[in-house]
Structures are given as structure tokens and as C-alpha cells.
Amino acid sequence: MPQSTALVDPEIERARTIARWMDRYGLDPLIGLIPGVGDVVGAAIGLYIVSIAVRRGLSKAVVARMLLHLGIDMFLGVLPVIGDVADFFYKANEKNLALLEERLNEPQRDAMGNAVDWAYLIGSVGAVVGLFGLAIYGCIRLVEAVV
């Protein structure tokens, strides 16, 4: 049998292994069960995929999207019970791996990133800020109702 002549990139293979173990096999939600540090540790492991994007010169918008995925995953995981369940469904590492592979295989990578990356990033940050604002407003209303 002829062997494949395609070169395997060891960094990308490690990233695939991390994404598979953390998201598909459920290691990320299990680590997230460790009180206080589990979600931070899970996000720190996910930073390996982001570090590849940085070393390979992907745009700042793509790197920011990847960091946003990890931030959302970490934030969801911090929420008691609901976050632990959500951690099984929000696959930040698989999203980041797909984004990395997609952008690395683009024939011409723009240093500023494309409009889709920036629009996604701005919309996501706006949504996160809006949700935080809503949560703060809800807490204020709750305190006013109690007092």
C-alpha cells in the first residue's frame, strides 16, 4: 500500500487532540467541576490553540474571536449547575480549532482580518456587555425589592 505523502503538522495534531479530549470526550466540563479553579484551568489548556494562531500570524480579529470563545466557555462554567450543564454543549476548543484550520488554509490571509471576523467580534462583545448590564440591572432591582 502506498503511504500518504502529506505532511502532518505536529502542532495542529496536538490542537486536534486537545479539542477532542476537552470538548468531545467531556474533559473540559469535568475539569470545570473543580471548585474555584476548574474553569480557569480548562481555559488555560484551551490557550494552546490560541497560541498557535498567534505564532502563525493570524489576524488580531481571529485571535480575539478565539479568546472570546474561551471567555464565554469559562464564564458559562462559573455559573453553578447551569454552567456545568452548558459546559457540555458549548465547545470552545472545537470552535477555535475549526477557526484556526479554516484561517490557516486561506490562500491569502489579510493582516487586518476580514469583515466577518470583525463583525462577529463586535457583535459578540456587544452581546456580552449587554448581558452583563442586564445582570447588573436585575441585581439592583432585586436589592431594591428586598430593601
Mean pLDDT on 102-108: 79
- Output the pLDDT for position 6: 63
pTM (two decimals): 0.76
Average pLDDT, the chain: 85
pLDDT class of 107 with cuts at 50, 70, 90: low
Q: Do residues 16 and 97 touch, judged by C-beta distance below 8 A?
A: yes
- Output the pLDDT for position 126: 83
Indicate the length of the chain as a whole number: 147
Q: Do residues 121 and 61 touch, judged by C-beta distance below 8 A?
A: yes
Q: Do residues 138 and 144 touch, judged by C-beta distance below 8 A?
A: no
| pLDDT, tens digit, 9 for 90 and up, residues 6-44 | 678 999 999 999 999 999 999 999 998 888 788 889 999
The amino acid present at 47, given as its one-letter code, is L
pLDDT class of 115 with cuts at 50, 70, 90: confident
Percent of the chain with pLDDT over 90: 40
Among the ranges given (51-60, 65-74, 90-99, 117-126), the one the predictor scored with the smallest mean pLDDT: 117-126
- Output the pLDDT for position 45: 96
Q: Is 62 exposed, middle or buried (0-12, 13-18, 19+ CB in 10 A)?
A: buried
Find the Cα–Cα–Cα–Cα dihedral 48, 50, 54, 58, rounded to 10°: 140
- Output the pLDDT for position 59: 86
